[in-house]
Structures are given as structure tokens and as C-alpha cells.
Structure 1
């Protein structure tokens, strides 16, 4: 029984979508149940659960911000439809087009943030369902705000803690980074090297993974606001943030390594010359890349990374003692060693 409970708790923690669904369902049901007691809400009661859903899809601080932005977008879009209807007095296709064009422009207004997209929806609803009446704007925005208040209250009682998605995003970024470094090492010895442009074009996954990681960590940090449960995990979140920052730095260093080995560099003192790495140096560089990638893969909370770090350090030390044919080739080798060494030091 105890082990089953632990597995259930682990499942619940690693899949926050379940908690999100439960909060949204409770908030929508409560808002729908109570909206009947609001005078004048009988014609448009469905906007209350709509607002509740908006408010429960984010962190506590985010739910307040996004709820206000959504209501603001509804008021802006509705007002546009109301004003255009006052001028035209009909719902002809041209009127609908004007309303949509103006509301889409208004959706980019900075204060509306990510919820600005509701402005065109509210504008069309006000024009067609509400017949351009000002009362509809108040009902739409007011009932959405009421439902959002219910959703915010649910979030206060059971605040979300998106720590698991952040941890997953950080782990995915680390895996992608190690895989690309290992693949670059394989290309050094097994295939003709691609151009730097081809490499970036075929390996855009790291950019997406880093963007998702930053967004996930930011949401986890935001969850600390007004969330007593999140404060108990402050230490874990701090370590996760540090790892995300470290991975961002390592990603830049790996990009520097790819530039060094894939781009032809001008030889110092000889503008017409090009520095390329000889076959004899490619293999030790590839081994060093593999060792650093192994160290990245091994890095995790509680994992013993000392053997991987030591192996990578020995490989880099050996590479540093490599004697190249020419001085400018030695400069490239030393630059590769420096970038890989700095990447390794990030997790040492």
C-alpha cells in the first residue's frame, strides 16, 4: 500500500496536467453553479466557466495577470465592435471585416500581453451575438472576470507548482546538448564535415529546447509568488535554475566549438591562407567531445559525475599537449580545448 501511494504521488508530481485539469474542472463547476445568483447573468452564464478556465491554466501570479489581460482584451475588442456598429448600423461583411481588422491590430497592444488574441473573438461576439450592444460588453467581460475570480481563488487554495515540467525541460536540453556534441565528434572522424550553415540548419532542436527550458524555469520561478508550498521547494528550484543557466552557457561554448571545427579560419599573417584541422588531430578532438558529452549525460541530482569529469579532464589535458603541424592549427586546437574545458568546468 505504501509503495503504491508513493508511485501515485510520483505520477501526480511528474504529470501536473492532472492537477491542472482538476483545478479547472472545480473552478468551472463552481462558477457555473453560482452564476445563476448574479442578476442579469441568465442570458450569458457560459462566460463564467470560461473565465474560470482562463484563470486556472497558469501559476498563481500568472492567473491574476492573464485574467486581467483577458478581460482587458474582451473590453477592447467589444468596444471596437460597439463603435463600428454605431457608425455602420449593420453586420454587413464589410462591417465584420473592419471590426476584425481593427481588433487584430489592437490585439498586439502590449498591456494585453499573451491574452491579446481574445480581442478579435470578443469583437466578433459583440457584433454578431450581442448585436453591437454595450450591455453585451459588460456581460461578457463582467462574467468572465467573475469566473476568473473563482479560478484565482481555487489557485490560492491549491496553487500550482510547475517544478516537474521545468525539471523535464532542463533534462531534455541537457540530453540534446550532449547528443549534438557527441554527433559532432562522430562527424570529425567518420564523415566529411558539413558546413557551419548546414550544421545549424539541421540542428535547430537545441534552440527550441533552450527556449522551452527558459520558459518552463521562468514559470516555476513565478510560482513562488504567493505560494507557500512552492517556498518549501525553493532550494530545488534554485538548483534547477542554476543548472538551466549553466546549460545556456555550455550551449554557447558548444556553438563556439562547432564554429572552430566547421568553419575555415584565416591563417594569422596570411590573409589568403585557411586553417584546417589535420586528420591526426581530429580523432583526439572527437574523443574529447565524447568525454564532455558523457559528463553532461551523467550530470543529475545525486549522480556521481566524478569518473566522467576525470575522464574528460584527462582527454582534454592530452589534447592540450598535442603538437600540431603549424602554429595557426595549434591555435585552433587550443581554442577547442579552452571551450570544452570551460564547458566541463560549468558542471565540475
Structure 2
């Protein structure tokens, strides 16, 4: 019984869309019941559950912001349709529709409407076609949506979302992708045919996407702390997760520096035709150090011993600096690579 309960709790935490669906369903149902008591709602009662769904698809702070933005976009779009319809009349319906769409799509990018600005052209077309360009329809559409949004906000206040598990998954995904790319770059170091930097970036865009998703997920968790009493119990976990995300961001930038140093042709100062390159004696220990850093990333993620892998990586770099037999320009290149990798190691400290 305990194992089954634990499994259910894990599924609940790892899949927040289940809780989101329940909140949206409860809010929509309550809005549908309560809207019957709003005078004049008989013709358009379905806009209330519509507003409830908008309000329950975000954090508590986000639900308030996005609800106001959605209602604002609906009113703006409706007013545009009403004004254009009043000016053109019914005799040029196609022109009226084209003007309404053009103006409302332009207004959708208005900063105060934020991410919900896209509702402006939708509301404009609804007002023109369903509401026949009447001002009463704008009041019903915007007002009933606001009523439903208030119900959704109340549901979010009772059971505020805390998307901590998705943020953990995003951080873990970034760590996995970063370790894989480090290993691949290390493998390429011991090959004579290296890809160009452009080829590397074209074939390894996954890390950029993973970092973006990680930053968005962590930002969403921080936003969910507002007016969320439940989140106080998880503040320490969030602090740790934020530190991990910041560390991975720094390591990602350092790995990007290493790939630039390894894959870009570097000119030799004072010799326009000269190019500094890494010899095989330098490539192999650098590749081993990259693998050690990747091992440290994996060990950190799965709770393993990171200290031994960090020590091994540092030893590889130390040995490389002591025994690096190349010319002066190669030494400069090697020292730059070693510095970037050592800064990556320091991130784990």
C-alpha cells in the first residue's frame, strides 16, 4: 500500500498536467454554475468557463496577469471591430473584415497585452461575426470571461501550482545533453578530421534548446512562489535547483569556449599565414579531461562521487601543462583550453 501511494505521488509530481487538468475542470465547472446567476448571461454563458480555463493554465501570479491581459485583449479587439463596423456599415463586409483583422493583428503586439495579445484578433472577428459588431457583445464577452477568470484565480489560490518537478527534469535534461556533447567533442579531439565550428553548431543545437527550456522552467517555478504558502516548504530545494541551473549555464558557456578554441583556426600573432594547432600529444589529454568533466556531470546528476572524477580531470590538465612540449603559439592555445576546462571544474566546487 505504501509503495502504491508513493508511486502515485511520484506520478503526480512528475506530471503536473494532471493537476492542471483537474484545476481547469473544477474551475470551468464552477464558472458554468455561477454564471447562471449573472444578469444578462443567458446568451453567452460559455465565455465564463473559457475565462476559467485561461486563469488555471499558469502559476497564481501568472493567472492574475494573463487573465487581465486576456480580458484586455478581448475588449481591445471588440472595440476595434465595433468602430470599424460602425464606420463602414454592412455594405462592404469583406472590406470591414479585412480592416478589422489588419488592425487587431497589429494591436496584438501591444506590450501591455503580453502573451495574451493574440486574443485581440479572435475577439475582433467574434464581435464582427457572432456579435454583429454590437457594443453589448463586447461587454458580455469581456465581462463573462472576467467572471470565469476570477473563479479560476480562486481555484489557483486554493491549490496553487508549483512546477518543481518539470524544472528538475529540464535541469537533468540539460546536464545529460551537456555531458554527451562534451564526450563527443573529446572523441573528436583524437580524430584528425575535425568538423568546422559551423558544422558543429548545426548538428548540436539540442543544447541551446535544452538550456532555454531549463531557464524557462526555473523562472516559472520562481514565479509560482508568489502568494504560494505551499512553496515555502520547497524553498531549499528550489535554491539548490537554481544553483544547479546557474552552474550548468556557466559550464555550457565554457564548453562553447572550448569548442571555439578547438574547432576554429587560430592565427599566429605576427604571422598572417600561420595557424596555431593542437598536436596529438596535446589532444589526447584534453580529450581525457573532457571525458572526466562529462563523468562529473553524470555523477552529480545521479548522486555519485564527483570528487574522484574532478580530481582525475584536474590531474589530466595539470599533467598536460607540465609536459606540454609544443611551440609557444600552441602552448597559448593549450593554456586557453585548459583554463576554460578548469573553470568548468570549479563550477562543481
Q: Aligned pair count?
A: 348
SS at match of 2:323: coil
Aligned to 2:330: 329
The Cα of 1:302 is off from its aligned counterpart by: 4.5
The match for 1:6 is 6
SS at match of 2:201: helix
Instruction: Quote the offset at 1:191 in angstroms.
Output: 5.5
Separation in 1 of the partners of 2:18 and 2:260? Answer: 43
**Once the 2 structures are TM-superposed, how far is the Cα of residue 325 of structure 1 from its aligned partner?**
2.1
* Counterpart in the other structure of 2:21: 21
Q: Which residue of 2 aligns with 1:42?
A: 42
SS in 1 for 2:133: coil
Query: How far apart, CA to CA, are the structure 2 residues paired with 1:302 and 1:150?
Result: 43
* Aligned mates of 2:141, 2:319 — CA distance in 1: 70
Q: Which moved more, 1:135-144 or 1:324-333?
A: 324-333
Flag the 1:60–1:191 CA change in 2: closer, same or farther, 3 A: farther
Cα deviation, residue 301, structure 1 = 7.3
Does residue 99 in structure 1 map to residue 100 in structure 2? yes
CA RMSD of aligned residues (A): 1.2
TM-score by length of 2: 0.97
Q: Is the 8 A contact 2:35 2:48 kept in 1?
A: yes
- Tell me how far 1:283 sits from its aligned partner: 1.4
Counterpart position of 2:312 = 311
Match of 2:73 in 1: 73
Q: Which residue of 2 aligns with 1:33?
A: 33
Q: Partner residue of 2:111? A: 110
Q: Deviations over 1:26-69 (max 9, x none)?
A: 00011011111111001001100000000000000000000000
| Contact 2:175–2:301 (CA under 8 A) maintained in structure 1 | no
Deviation per residue, 1:195-215 (Å, 9 max, x gap): 111111111111111111111
CA deviations 1:98-132 (Å, max 9, x no partner) are: 11110000000000000001001000000000000
Which moved further from structure 2: 200-209 or 129-138? 200-209
Shift of 1:83: 0.5
1:177-326 matched pairs, under 5 angstroms: 177-190=178-191, 192-300=193-301, 302-326=303-327
- Give the match's secondary structure for 1:139: helix
Q: Which 5+ residue runs of structure 2 have no aligned equivalent?
A: none
